[in-house]
Amino acid sequence: MISNPCTHQTLVNQPFCSQGFDIISASSTHQTLVNKRVEGRSWPAPIRGRLWIHAASKIPEPATIQAMEDFYREIYAVDGITDIKFPEHYPTSRLIGCVEVVGCVTREELVNWEEVPGGVQLEGQTDFCWLCEQPQKLIVPFEMRGFQGVYNLEHKIHEAAARGLSPVRVPRPVKFPLPDPRDPFSLKPGSLVSTFKGSGMPKVEKSESLTAAVAGARAAATQFSKSGGFEPAAVGGGDEPISSRTRNKSTAV
């Protein structure tokens, strides 16, 4: 089941290391997926661990939904997965689930990473690709307001959400191998460059339908940004944000 691919989102993170707070980030991604394998950004992931997903209030256009569904249908088909089902409705202003962020690589690294499926190599269409595993969804999505920029998730919401999670069934779960299994932060931009072989060009051959789907998704993303999308930033959780400078930029979404 592909869950909620077409609303922008807030991301809430619980890091591997015990720093005493959760990390939260706001996102404008219009192809939000509870079981997304790659979360695209123009900046590297500053976090590892549980990332909560919030679908913001902007309602996606039907054309945007169609473009993103076509994109995911095509990239799953690269690996022979054709039984993809999309939801009938995409919630807005809801906390909808979470994933585990296990690393971040550049798009060039992802498209040349032979240890992951071909569809995953194509899923990242941005400068930096946040790598996600273990998707879970909220049985009952929480209605809540999100914010552009940086803000904290209320502790009571986090506690209640953690009790209402259910694993998401995915066609083929992906496990991203760490360069250093002892270091949860070892999968980072530049960590895979030494493993490149040959010309450094993408290894997956693109069909005409896949090429069209990628172009459609990029066009939808561009249109979404022009119509009110925003660029996210990472934050510190608990009672105290990591940066008061970014905190002050937050506006409701």
Per-residue pLDDT tens over the stretch 158-214: 889 999 999 998 888 899 999 999 999 999 999 998 877 655 555 677 889 999 999
Higher pLDDT: 48 or 148? It is 48
pLDDT of 112 higher than 80 = yes
The amino acid at residue 6 is C
CB distance 42 to 126 below 8 Å? yes
- Whose structure tokens read 């660029």? 231
Confidence band for 34, pLDDT divided at 50, 70 and 90: low
* Domain annotation covers residue 4: no
Write out the two tokens for 209: 């339908």
3-state secondary structure 32-76: CCCCCCEEEECCCCCCCEEEEEEECCCCCCHHHHHHHHHHHHHHH
For residues 188 and 23, which has the higher predicted lDDT (pLDDT)?
188
Burial per residue of 119-151, b for 16 or more beta-carbon CB atoms within 10 angstroms, e otherwise: bbbbbbbbebbbbbbbbbbbeebbeeebbbbbb
**pLDDT of 85:** 86
The Cβ-side half-sphere exposure at 169, using a 13 Å CA radius, reads 5
Q: Indicate whether 2 belongs to any domain.
A: no
Convert the pLDDT of each residue in 120-143 to its tens digit. 999 998 999 999 999 999 999 989
Q: Cα separation of 137 and 97, whole Å?
A: 4
**DSSP state letter for 30:** S
In a domain, 229, yes or no: yes
- Total domains in the chain come to 1
SS3 for 24?
Answer: strand
Answer yes or no: are the C-beta atoms of 93 and 144 closer than 8 Å. Answer: yes
| 215 is a domain residue | yes
Residue 1 domain flag: no
pLDDT at 238: 37
- Residues 226-251, mean pLDDT to the nearest whole number: 40
d(CA 40, CA 123): 8
Write out the residue range of the structural domain in which residue 25 sits.
9-252
Domain assignment present for residue 3? The answer is no
Integer Cα distance of 1 and 168 in angstroms = 8
List, in sequence order, the alpha helices (H) in the chain.
62-77, 107-111, 118-123, 155-163, 208-226, 244-247
Q: In this structure, is residue 211 part of a structural domain? A: yes
